[in-house]
């Protein structure tokens, strides 16, 4: 029996001719990632174990993005711990205020991850880099510490589900709708410890940002990773950016999949995940009247330049509804600067929105947009668990930038068609 794309990457990094689902392997890593919440734990474990050096400092990245710029003394101490460690052990890929961005947008942008890579990160949304044809997955901080020391990590080889994406997405449909539709279809544990491998004629219509969004939320279906094949869209993004050699792996024709699921993107409707699970998806006819207090456009899921352009196109010449706070968070400084030069900030500010420095901010209830009891937010983020963005009695509705921007204008859950 042949191997899936993910299995081929794992086999190559383990120095094996082949692997099969359920097999335990030890594999060489191309990148080890941590942030300002998870890295301090890894640092503590690294030092407690008595490690004296990082095997490959150039293959370690530490991104201070969750609570930065430092929201309080505790956040400042966390970052100081990581900064001191990075300086001591020569971690050049240390990204602090002024250099940093949201980690899962920053690493691809900086050319630190790419096709054929094996990446672990002490953050569950590390699965984002599958958009580039990499096997990337989230781990715990102790695995991060071991990965820094040894340059390796152990894996149980996952089985896979194939998602055949068909046809061109309908109007006002983007990658966020595709992945929310899939999660609604299979549930938050529908791909538990499995690879979600995306293929089909429809992927040609998905931008690299759409693919980042889809792979980013693979974890919300319980997946070990999400991954796209390397094509012209991938190469265009990586060429002149990726710092290592592009390695292309493809699934064998006889690769074994637990399920094959077809998604006709031309028939999708704007999809929103209602509280309090990403699987609780509904399309407009089932939304009802959902009045809102806040809109967040940004995050590692939808803080890309294409997302900001979508939001600006909807908001141009309009005003954010009275009583609604609209917060726009570009994912990296490069995206921030590009959006500024394109005039998108003028659109946002004229509409009554505010633009933040890059940060994870409100996505995990950190800062820059915390909800009070009884408040509702429409967000382009990736999770809507109880208390995710603030008070346990607040609510988060996950949506695309199309729906988020339209909702900001309408003052309630809405599609762009509702405000035209």
31: exposed, middle or buried (Cβ count in 10 Å: 0-12, 13-18, 19+) = buried
Q: Taking the CB of residue 189, how many other CB atoms lie within 10 A of it?
A: 11
Q: Give the DSSP letter string of 190-257.
A: TTTTEEEEEESGGGGGS-HHHHHHHHHGGGGGT-SEEE----HHHHHHHTTT-SS--------TTB--
Fold match between domain 5-263 and domain 272-419? yes
pLDDT reported for residue 123: 94
Q: What percent of the chain has pLDDT above 70? A: 100
Q: Taking the CB of residue 179, how many other CB atoms lie within 10 A of it?
A: 31
Report, as an integer, the average pLDDT of 240-247.
92
pLDDT in tens, 304-355: 999 999 999 999 999 999 999 999 999 999 999 999 999 999 999 999 999 9
pLDDT reported for residue 243: 85
pLDDT reported for residue 238: 97
> What H or E segment, with its residue span, contains residue 176?
helix 175-186
Enter the tokens of residue 93.
């890929």
Enter the tokens of residue 9.
């990457």
300: exposed, middle or buried (Cβ count in 10 Å: 0-12, 13-18, 19+) = buried
Handedness of CA 216, 219, 224, 228 (dihedral sign): negative
Query: What is the phi/psi pair of residue 307, to 5°?
Result: -65, -40
pLDDT in tens, 185-218: 999 999 999 999 999 999 999 999 999 999 999 9
Helix (H, G, I), strand (E, B) or coil at 328: strand
pLDDT reported for residue 176: 98
pLDDT beyond 90 at 361? no
CATH number given to 5-263: 3.30.499.10
pLDDT band at 364 (very low <50, low <70, confident <90, very high): confident
pLDDT reported for residue 104: 95
What is the C-alpha separation between 91 and 104, in angstroms, rounded?
A: 18
pLDDT beyond 90 at 68? no
pLDDT reported for residue 368: 85
Walk across the sheet containing 159-166 and list its strands: 225-227, 194-199, 159-166, 259-264
pLDDT beyond 90 at 100? no
pLDDT beyond 80 at 1? no
Q: How much is the mean pLDDT over the chain?
A: 95
pLDDT in tens, 292-317: 999 999 999 999 999 999 999 999 99
Residues near 379 by Cβ (< 8 Å), separated by ≥ 6? 294, 295, 296, 297, 299, 362, 363, 389, 396, 397, 398, 399, 404
pLDDT band at 260 (very low <50, low <70, confident <90, very high): very high
pLDDT band at 45 (very low <50, low <70, confident <90, very high): very high
Residues near 78 by Cβ (< 8 Å), separated by ≥ 6? 36, 37, 40, 67
User: Of 132, 134, 135, which is closest to residue 212 (Cα–Cα)?
Assistant: 132
Angle between helix 39-48 and helix 141-150 axes, rounded to 10 deg: 60
Instruction: Indicate the class that CATH gives domain 272-419.
Output: alpha beta
Residue carrying the six token digits 């790419």: 114
pLDDT band at 420 (very low <50, low <70, confident <90, very high): confident
Helix (H, G, I), strand (E, B) or coil at 320: coil
> What H or E segment, with its residue span, contains residue 159?
strand 159-166
pLDDT reported for residue 122: 96
pLDDT reported for residue 381: 96
Domain boundaries, the chain: 5-263, 272-419
- Spell out the alpha helix ranges (H) of 24-67: 39-48
pLDDT in tens, 169-188: 999 999 999 999 999 999 99
Report, as an integer, the average pLDDT of 254-283.
96
Cα separation values, 220 from 193, 231, 340, 367, Å: 11, 25, 32, 22
Whether residue 366 contacts residue 67, with contact meaning beta carbons closer than 8 Å, is answered with: yes
pLDDT in tens, 135-148: 999 999 999 999 99
Report, as an integer, the average pLDDT of 95-118.
95
Give the 3-state secondary structure of 60-102: EEEECCCCCCCCCHHHHHHHHHHHHHHHHHCCCEEECCCCCEC
């Amino acid at each position: 029996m042949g191997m899936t794309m993910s299995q081929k990457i794992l086999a190559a990094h383990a120095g094996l001719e082949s692997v099969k689902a359920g097999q335990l392997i030890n594999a060489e890593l191309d990148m080890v990632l941590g942030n300002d919440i998870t890295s301090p734990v890894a640092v503590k474990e690294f030092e407690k174990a008595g490690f004296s050096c990082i095997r490959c400092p150039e293959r370690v990245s530490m991104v201070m993005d969750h609570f930065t710029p430092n929201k309080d003394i505790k956040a400042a101490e966390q970052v100081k711990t990581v900064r001191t460690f990075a300086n001591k052990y020569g971690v050049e890929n240390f990204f602090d205020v002024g250099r940093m961005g949201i980690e899962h947008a920053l690493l691809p942008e900086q050319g630190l991850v790419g096709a054929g890579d094996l990446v672990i990160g002490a953050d569950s949304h590390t699965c984002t880099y599958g958009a580039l044809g990499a096997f990337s997955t989230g781990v715990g901080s102790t695995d991060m510490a071991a990965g820094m020391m040894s340059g390796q990590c152990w894996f149980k080889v996952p089985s896979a589900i194939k998602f055949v994406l068909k046809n061109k997405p309908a109007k006002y449909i983007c990658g966020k709708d595709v992945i929310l539709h899939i999660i609604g279809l299979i549930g938050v544990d529908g791909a538990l410890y499995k690879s979600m491998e995306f293929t089909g004629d429809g992927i040609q219509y998905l931008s690299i940002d759409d693919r980042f969004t889809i792979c980013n939320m693979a974890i919300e279906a319980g997946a070990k990773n999400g991954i796209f094949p390397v094509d012209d869209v991938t190469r265009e993004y990586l060429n002149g950016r990726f710092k290592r050699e592009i390695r292309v792996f493809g699934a064998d024709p006889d690769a074994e999949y637990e399920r094959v699921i077809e998604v006709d993107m031309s028939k999708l409707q704007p999809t929103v995940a209602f509280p309090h699970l990403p699987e609780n998806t509904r399309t407009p006819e089932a939304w009802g009247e959902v009045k809102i207090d806040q809109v967040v456009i940004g995050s590692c899921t939808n803080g890309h330049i294409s997302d900001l352009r979508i939001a600006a196109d909807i908001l141009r010449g309009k005003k954010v509804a009275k009583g609604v706070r609209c917060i726009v968070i570009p994912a990296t400084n490069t995206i921030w600067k590009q959006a500024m030069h394109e005039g998108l900030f003028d659109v946002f500010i004229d509409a009554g929105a505010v633009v933040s420095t890059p940060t994870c901010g409100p996505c995990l209830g950190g800062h820059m947009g915390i909800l009070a009891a009884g408040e509702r937010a429409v967000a382009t983020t990736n999770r809507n668990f109880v208390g995710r963005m603030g008070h346990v009695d607040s609510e988060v509705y996950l949506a695309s930038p199309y729906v988020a921007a339209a909702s900001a204008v309408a003052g309630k859950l809405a599609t762009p068609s509702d405000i035209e």
